[in-house]
Amino acid sequence: MADTNRGVVYQGPGKVTVEDLDYPKLELAEQNGRKLEHGAILKVLATNICGSDQHMVRGRTTAPAGLTLGHEITGEVIETGRDVEFVKEGDLVSVPFNIACGRCRNCKERHTGVCENVNPARAGAAYGYVDMGGWHGGQARYAVVPYADFNLLRFPGDRDTVMAKLPDLAMLSDIFPTGYHGAYTAGVTTGSTVYVAGAGPVGLASATACLLLGAAAVIVGDMNPRRLEQARGFGCETIDLSRHGDVPEQIEQVLGVPEVDAAVDCVGFEARGHGPEGSAGEQPATVLNTLMDITRAAGGLGIPGLYVTGDPGAPDENAKVGQLGLRIGLGWAKSHYFVTGQCPVMKYNRQLMMAILHDRVQIARNVNAAAIPLDQAPEGYAEFDRGAARKYILDPHGAVRAAA
């Protein structure tokens, strides 16, 4: 007999609860009972709270009440559909947050963040996220993954080795590949100097990726002293933007010049002004304009930070539809290039998995991962919203705490 299912449900701005849910079926009720014989049911071993989830919980998107949250999923396969050939029951797997069919033009070109077949409204889908196709979220005891043979990344080796590294491997579903994507697309390489805007979990993951890629100096800017301390703990320089509004001047104090080779925006659309006077108010274009200011001519900007087309809580009418006051003329004059959009997780997750399994990186330590029971999700969301310098892993079956 199937076990009971519980999950984290968005109830409206500022409120999430943990509720009893239906046990998963290989179908999608929100898409007219669409059958998922190509899918798999997972026992969720780890599922993380993400800053993107927090945008919804703050009421800064058009997410409907009743949405089951969660797009960062790591688990064990316990059932497969009749069309699944290669994934087997008992496999331990990472789930890319992008849902991809593996069949469309974009998937075949490795642009899995904008799959053409998994969202009736637009290209691109994700679990438990607003306007992303109606797929159930993974902050639950059990979850469904479609197109399992294509989407799931199986962990190699013996079970004990994998379980011992579960806190690190749990970062492969989103933030580690997303942070890496921001660094890689900005052109970070051996000897680069880099500015990372934001010391939340994605920013810390991106700073980690910069170091993994061989950066000579990584400077992280934020307004949260605890998160900046976390960045310094694994070798980054930092700028406290609540005190120092002049970012080029602060960069010059570190590097001797007021610019960097590459920059990464890990903040997104809820950015605040810099300096003692500006830090209290939202200025959505602040980060992007700052990055253009401090990135050298012909340099690159990686932009994994989330920008949305609908923001009910935006500070002005333009920002409510994602229209921001960018100094695009500055970027054009400096021949910058920009890379935006969802990270195509499958482009990076296997390589990053191997870096974890072979002890080349300690991503869970760098983002200060902390496992909490599923039923404590509301407290985790509240603490994260207050600026906790942690990456919260929800642990529905106690597997992460057992690994630790």
Q: How far apart are the first and last CA of the chain?
A: 30
Q: What is the pLDDT of residue 32?
A: 66
Range of the domain at 125: 5-174+344-403
Same domain (yes/no): 157, 187: no
Task: Name the token pair of 398.
Answer: 């106690």
Same domain (yes/no): 106, 242: no
Same domain (yes/no): 108, 229: no
Give long-range contacts, CB 8 A cutoff, 24+ apart: 33-38.
36/81, 36/144, 36/146, 37/81, 37/82, 37/83, 37/84, 38/81, 38/83, 38/84, 38/146, 38/147, 38/148, 38/149
Task: Name the token pair of 235.
Answer: 């070798």
Q: What is the pLDDT of residue 33?
A: 73
pTM: predicted TM-score of the whole model, two decimal places = 0.95
Same domain (yes/no): 202, 222: yes
What does 266-280 look like in DSSP terms, one character per residue?
-S-TT-B--STTTTT
Q: What is the pLDDT of residue 9?
A: 97
User: How many distinct structural domains can be found in the chain?
Assistant: 2
Same domain (yes/no): 129, 221: no
How many other CB atoms are there within 10 angstroms of residue 272's CB atom? 17
Choosing from 313, 340, 367, the residue where a domain stops is: 340
Same domain (yes/no): 167, 189: no
Q: What is the pLDDT of residue 282?
A: 84
Task: Name the token pair of 154.
Answer: 């199986």
Same domain (yes/no): 310, 386: no
The helix-helix angle for 225-232 and 201-212 (nearest 10°) equals 20
Q: What is the pLDDT of residue 34?
A: 80
Which residues 6+ apart lie within 8 Å of 200 measured at CB?
51, 222, 227, 266, 267
Choosing from 325, 340, 355, the residue where a domain stops is: 340
CATH number at residue 163: 3.90.180.10
Q: What is the pLDDT of residue 262?
A: 98
**Cα–Cα distance between 172 and 209 in angstroms, integer?**
12
CATH number at residue 285: 3.40.50.720
Q: In sequence order, what E strands does 304-357 have?
A: 337-340
Task: Name the token pair of 200.
Answer: 């939340």
Same domain (yes/no): 246, 312: yes
The half-sphere exposure of 168 on its side-chain side, counting CA atoms within 13 A, is 21
Same domain (yes/no): 267, 365: no
Closest-CA residue to 231 (of 218, 242, 245, 215): 218
Same domain (yes/no): 185, 333: yes
Q: What is the pLDDT of residue 1?
A: 42
Same domain (yes/no): 155, 257: no
Task: Identify the segments of the chain with pLDDT beneath 70.
Answer: 1-2, 29-32, 277-280
Same domain (yes/no): 396, 336: no
How distant is the alpha carbon of residue 50 from its chain centre?
Answer: 6
**Alpha carbon distances (Å) from 183 to 135, 210, 304:** 29, 6, 9
| Strand 40-48 to 391-394 pairing | antiparallel
Choosing from 288, 319, 340, the residue where a domain stops is: 340
Helix (H, G, I), strand (E, B) or coil at 299: strand
